[in-house]
Amino acid sequence: MAHIGKRLKTSYEGVDREKFYGLAEAVKVIKAGAKAKFDETVEIALNLGVDPRHADQMVRGVIELPHGTGKTVRVAVFAKADKAEEARKAGADIVGAEDLAEQIQGGMMDFDRCIATPDMMGVVGRLGKILGPRNLMPNPKLGTVTPNVTEAVRAAKAGQVQFRVEKAGIIHAGIGKASFDEDKLVANIKAFVDAINKAKPSGAKGTYLKKVSLSSTMGPGVKLDIATIGG
Q: Encode pLDDT of 112-126 as tens digits.
A: 999 999 999 999 999
Average pLDDT over residues 21-42: 94
* CB contact set of 164 (below 8 Å; sequence gap of 6+): 59, 60, 135, 171
Tell me, what's the pLDDT at 2? Answer: 43
> Which residue type occupies 137?
M
Mean pLDDT of the chain: 91
Residues 211, 231: Cα–Cα separation, whole Å: 18
Please compute the mean of the pLDDT values over residues 3-20 and round it to a whole number.
62
Q: Show contacts of 98-102: CB within 8 Å, 24+ apart.
A: 98/123, 100/76, 101/126, 101/127
pLDDT for position 8: 47
pLDDT of the residue at 13: 61
Q: Between residues 55 and 16, which one has the greater pLDDT?
A: 55
pLDDT band at 92 (very low <50, low <70, confident <90, very high): very high
Helical ranges in the chain per DSSP H: 2-12, 23-33, 81-90, 98-105, 121-124, 128-131, 149-157, 182-198
Residues paired with 212 in a beta bridge: 46
Q: Does residue 231 surpass a pLDDT of 80?
A: no
Please give the model's pTM, rounded to 2 decimal places: 0.81
pLDDT at 154 exceeding the cut of 60: yes
DSSP string, 125-187: GGGHHHHTTTT----GGGT-B-S-HHHHHHHHHTTEEEEE--TTSEEEEEEEETTS-HHHHHH
Question: Which pLDDT does position 167 carry in this prediction?
Answer: 85
Overall average pLDDT of the 52-77 stretch: 93
Quick one: what percent of the chain has pLDDT higher than 70? 94
pLDDT at 177: 96
Burial 83-115 (b: 16+ CB within 10 A, else e): bbebbbebebbbbbbeebbeebeeeeeebebbb
Predicted pLDDT at 9: 52
